[in-house]
Amino acid sequence: MKAATSLALVFLTSLLGGAAARAQQGPASAETSTLTSVLNSQLSVVEFEIVATAQAMPEDKYSFAPTNGNFKGVRTFGQQVKHIATVNDRFAEAITGQAAPTAPDEGITSNGPDAIQTKDQIIQYLKESFANMHKAIATINAENGLTPLAKAPVPFLGTRASLAMFTCVHAMDHYGQMVEYLRMNGLTPPMSAPRPAANPPAKPSGE
């Protein structure tokens, strides 16, 4: 837990340091930000939180899925992670115009390749999928970002920019579920570890 806390603090310090540096440079101009840089920055934040959370869950809990309530048929923790990675890859391929795999276990609604099973394998698959998406985002610019795609993987995501943005939306949807799975197993999500209690106990009167 100490390692996760330190990792989160390093990330937050990096973000704050970058913000301070930008403030010293004066107001942002059209030359300092591009569609690509904005999309990549958003994806980097999502990537950090998702990967850290995937690493925080012990391997013997990757098969965990809630049962106390209306959770019939929900994905296990490991399947949540694999599904994020699979969608990242399918969206990256759509952005760059590559043909998507046709195997049933690699479809956009699947939980990823059945051969990927261990925690190490799943995290490697996850990291590679984010790397693929960063490469795909690097091909997006102001000229092609909003150009309709000839074949969109999802009907309402018909442009490169919308696919890149929804990659973050989709991943954070599942991130929320991953966080709950951690808490159900008595673990504190890495992004919550350095934060003070939301409702600290009141101080005794007279202090």
Q: 28 or 162: whose pLDDT is higher?
A: 162
Give the pLDDT mean for 114-137. Answer: 98
Does 17 score more than 60 pLDDT?
no
Question: pLDDT digit string (tens) for 161-181?
Answer: 999 999 999 999 999 999 999
- Answer whether residue 16 shows pLDDT above 50: no
SS3 143: coil
Cβ 135 vs Cβ 145: under 8 Å: no
Q: Does an H or E element contain 130, and which?
A: helix 119-137
User: What would the pLDDT profile of 89-104 be if each residue is shown by its tens digit?
Assistant: 999 999 999 999 999 9
- Rounded to two decimals, the pTM is 0.80
Neighbouring C-beta atoms of residue 120, cutoff 10 Å: 10
Residue extents of the structural domains in the chain: 36-64+73-184
* CA–CA gap between residue 178 and residue 104 (Å, rounded): 24
Residue 105: the pLDDT is: 94
Given a cut of 60, whether residue 52 has pLDDT beyond it is: yes
Mean pLDDT of the chain: 86
pLDDT at residue 54 above 90?
yes
- Single-letter amino acid, residue 125: Y
Mean pLDDT of 155-161: 95
In which band, very low, low, confident or very high, does the pLDDT at 202 lie, cut at 50, 70 and 90?
A: confident
Mean pLDDT along residues 59-68: 95
In CATH terms, the superfamily for domain 36-64+73-184 is dinb family like domain (1.20.120.450)
> What per-residue confidence (pLDDT) applies to 32?
80
